[in-house]
Amino acid sequence: MNLAEKVRSISGEDVLSCYQCGLCSGSCPVRFAMDLSPTQVVRLVQVGNIEKIFESNTFWICSTCFSCYARCPRKINITKIMEALRQIRLRRDQDKIALSDIPKEELKILPPIALVSNFRKTTA
């Protein structure tokens, strides 16, 4: 599965229909803090350059305000794409946390929801 297909399977969004007009970047309120623009990130997904995306901070900076989606002329939900990239990034890592590493005393007091979400986000 190539990157565009993988992103679609996670987000349900068709990245390939983007025609790179730049409206998302122009509408993004946190663009100033990003190194690559959302348009560029979408392009990198189209061509499958995941490494370059992971070097950038764009998909972490995204504030999920959906401004890009509201204006996108092809109705692509870029916010969902950013979330998909975050998930791919997280899932790719080796387990950052292992159950055996957590002291038993801590396990007793940790809320289950915190554990579950932590495993979901930081384990492969």
User: Which stretches of the chain bind other proteins, using CB under 8 A?
Assistant: 19-23, 25-28, 31-32, 36-37, 39-40, 71-75
- Residue 112, token pair as written in the block: 């289950």
Where helices occur in 12-57 by DSSP H, the ranges are 23-27, 38-47, 50-55
- At residue 40's C-alpha, the angle toward residues 78 and 91, to 5°, is 60
Nearer to other proteins, 32 or 104 (CB): 32
Q: Which is nearer to other proteins, 16 or 116 (CB)?
A: 16
Instruction: Please identify, using beta-carbon distances, which residue of 42 and 84 lies nearer to other proteins.
Output: 42
Q: How far is the CB of 124 from other proteins (least distance, A)?
A: 31
Q: State whether residue 58 is helix, strand or coil.
A: helix
Q: Phi first, then psi: give them for residue 22, nearest 5 degrees.
A: 90, 5
Question: At closest approach, how far in Å is the CB of 56 from other proteins?
Answer: 11
Nearer to other proteins, 6 or 72 (CB): 72
What distance in Å separates the CA atoms of residue 72 and residue 16, rounded to the nearest whole number? Answer: 14
Q: Shortest approach of other proteins to residue 39 CB, angstroms?
A: 6
- Strand locations in 1-124, DSSP E? none
Shortest Cβ 19–other proteins spacing (Å): 7
